[in-house]
Amino acid sequence: MPELPEVETMRRGILGIVGSRITDIAWPRCSKKPIAVRPTKARFRARAVGQEIAAVDRIGKRVVVRLGSGDAIIFEPRMTGLVLVSDAPSTEHLRFRMDLAGSPIASVWYWDRRGLGNVRLLRPAEQEHELGSSKLGPDALAITPEILRLHLGASRRDIKVALLDQKQIAGVGNLYASEILHAAGVHPAQRCDLLHRGQWERIHAALVEILETAIRYEGSTLSDGTYRNALNKSGGYQNEHRVYARAGQRCARCRSATIVRIVQAQRATFYCPGCQKK
């Protein structure tokens, strides 16, 4: 589930490690489905231990720990992954530990209940090949209305489906796409190439406002309780959702129509037929 707001919250939660040095890398014993790790664990440890942490960034839905060597440790949470500094939700789903010296944070952990995420150590050329502009679009918080329209405006896809395409815009996922389109007053099944300039401007404004607000609330913890911040605390933006997972409830915006659930590209979409007319 983690989308841009949740991953940005993870990034901010471990910013205190910048300037510290890695003293150990370990993979706790885990009987669950193994996560993908690259390179081999032995090579990963040999290249990372002793390195200074130069920066902690985010690329789309990934936390990027940059090392002094130019290598970067990439945490990709996918559906249920978490980057933590303490109090893991459970010990049996801990997958990775990075011990540190010279930091107020003693260790960074990667926890993943379903094991769908991955942890990679990439050289600079690998970073560009796998996470560069040929693979990922511009970050959702770094685009203008013109860039948004340039990347999606010629598509014949539904706007909700197009917003999920990470090769065009990086960071937006299923939950926030529904919320963005509701705030913009745009029907999720409207074709991109039929949207006019004013609608693109409204979508962009809603995108920025909702993602930035969700970051301030430290993301959304849904009913399954999986997502947590770096301190294993719930996010708060789930209490601000207007349409997501609210099918059958009255719209809080128009206060007359009822929220509807449809399926687009095998993903659930929620919208208000009163506020979001096609």
Predicted TM-score of the model (pTM): 0.96
In angstroms, the CA 89 to CA 84 distance is 10
Residue 3 among the catalytic residues: yes
Q: What is the pLDDT of residues 6-33, one digit of tens each?
A: 999 999 999 999 999 999 999 999 999 9
Residue 107 identity (one-letter amino acid): S
Active-site choice (21, 135, 267, 273): 267
Active-site choice (2, 5, 77, 138): 2
Q: What is the pLDDT of residues 155-188, one digit of tens each?
A: 999 999 999 999 999 999 999 999 999 999 999 9
Residue 2 among the catalytic residues: yes
Residue 61 among the catalytic residues: yes
Whether 1 has a pLDDT exceeding 80, the answer reads: no
For residues 130, 136, 140, 146, the Cα torsion angle rounded to the nearest 10 degrees is: 150
Active-site choice (61, 66, 149, 157): 61
61: tokens are 């839905």
DSSP structure class, residue 35: P
Map tokens 């999720």 to a residue: 188
273 exposed, middle or buried (CB, 10 Å; 0-12, 13-18, 19+)?
middle
Query: What domains appear along the chain, each with residue ranges and CATH number?
Result: 4-131 (3.20.190.10), 140-271 (1.10.8.50)
Q: What is the pLDDT of residues 100-122, one digit of tens each?
A: 999 999 999 999 999 999 999 99
Residue 65 near residue 75, CB atoms below 8 Å: yes
Among 53-67, 82-96, 175-189, the minimum mean pLDDT is found in 82-96
Map tokens 């999606």 to a residue: 152
| Alpha helix segments (H runs only) across 118-196 | 124-131, 145-152, 159-163, 174-184
Active-site choice (3, 8, 76, 218): 3
User: What is the SS3 assignment for 206-273?
Assistant: HHHHHHHHHHHCCCCCCCCCCCCCCCCCCCCHHHHCCCCCCCCCECCCCCCCECEEEEECCEEEEECC
Sheet with 94-101, side-by-side order of all strands:
21-26, 94-101, 107-112, 81-84
Residue 77 among the catalytic residues: no
Q: In angstroms, what CA-CA distances link 258 with 122, 140, 222?
A: 47, 29, 21
